[in-house]
Amino acid sequence: MNVYRTREGLRHAFRDVLNFYHPDCIDTRFGGYVTQFDERDGYVYDARSKHLVATARAINNFSLGVLADGPEWCRTAAEHGLRFLSTAHWDPENEGYDWLLEGREPTDRTRFCYGHAFALLAGARAHQAGIPGGRDEIDRAFSVLEERFFEPEHGLYADRASSDWMDLSPYRGANANMHTLEALLAAGEATGEGRFLDRAYTIAERFTRELAAETDGLLWEHYTDTWQHDLSHNEDEPDHQFRPPGYQPGHHAEWAKLLCLLAEHREEAWLLTRASELFDAAVELGWDEEYGGLYYTVEESGEPIVDEKYGWAQAEAIGASALLARHDPTYLEWYDRLWSYSTERLIDPRHGNWYERLTREGELPEPDHGPEVEPGYHPITNCWLAMEVLEDDPMALGADG
């Protein structure tokens, strides 16, 4: 029996990732978090860089620790991070979140929708966990997203702007909208306000039905400023770190997860149907039958473009398969297969943290020692979702947890 079909097993994996970062992640000099830990040996390689997304994701993690009845230090850690987000990252003059800081000094003030979405997620999870100031952050982040990024004529969000909001990039992307959808779902659940869920539904329908209809049901990542598919985007940079060409199996699984969550609040039958279709596409196109794991990017045929295996993609597919299994137990086969690959290859047996990426064959490449880290957000979030599935139905994953 897969131990991760039980609460005990999931809580163990959940706690291991939190413990990898805490208490060394608490920055008592500048405030906020230190998140740049070497994934193999655990040492801090950069104690000064403060990335907006890393700050927000760590708040999410510790807030989920509170919601999962974790150690008391989860509450203290979440409060610590939320204070930093609302002061150091927030630019009161231009009313936006700064992207990158050195200590407390801004070094990149580009306004990314992606970053503001994570600020909304952080506020939502903090509010849900009863952290003071969470509700204020929800209102502030949502206001910026609506006033600066949302394009009513398209029903979607723009990608990025200059620090003074005068210049809006012509690039439009799926990733920013996907994470805005995630944050809106969290805000709706935390506040009980339908406006967040209504906006989430709009994004879901535009992307996974209307835009996907133009690419045979698959989800393209890159668009023009009029939301036309930009099929040649970065075609000369197949290994681009953040905007590679091709289809991403991990994102198909992540969208499937979000549709399952949205279906808990809406009655439209297409949500679960599309969730199943997108997950099925993720594993049919992206699963490596020889070495295991989901490829990073693939052609429409399933031929890999970048054959590396990213930890976040496997974690998102675990969360999606757990949610889908509530409606169709056959998805437990994928739940088990994904956990098997992750425990054998991706999870450090010494520290319990997840490696960022592996080669196709499952070897560790040289680590990326940049500020754009995801301090355990994907495994923590998806372990928590699987625990929530068991909370609703102790037998949902096929074991009495």
Question: Does the active-site annotation cover 22?
Answer: no
Query: Hey, how many other C-beta atoms are within 10 angstroms of the C-beta on 30?
Result: 17
Indicate if the alpha-carbon torsion angle 175, 313, 377, 375 is positive or negative: negative
Tell me phi and psi for residue 305, to 5 degrees. -95, -55
3-state SS assignment for residue 46: strand
Indicate if the alpha-carbon torsion angle 288, 291, 294, 300 is positive or negative: negative
Please write down the HEC assignment for all residues of 112-179.
Answer: EHHHHHHHHHHHHHHHHCCCCCHHHHHHHHHHHHHHHHEECCCCEECCEECCCCCCECCCEEHHHHHH
Distance between CA 94 and CA 114 in Å, rounded? Answer: 18
Distance between CA 358 and CA 368 in Å, rounded? Answer: 12
CB 309 within 8 A of CB 358: yes
3-state SS assignment for residue 155: coil
Query: Hey, how many other C-beta atoms are within 10 angstroms of the C-beta on 28?
Result: 7
Question: Does the active-site annotation cover 127?
Answer: no
Query: Hey, how many other C-beta atoms are within 10 angstroms of the C-beta on 398?
Result: 15
Catalytic, out of 251, 252, 351, 369: 251
Q: Which residues are catalytic?
A: 251, 378
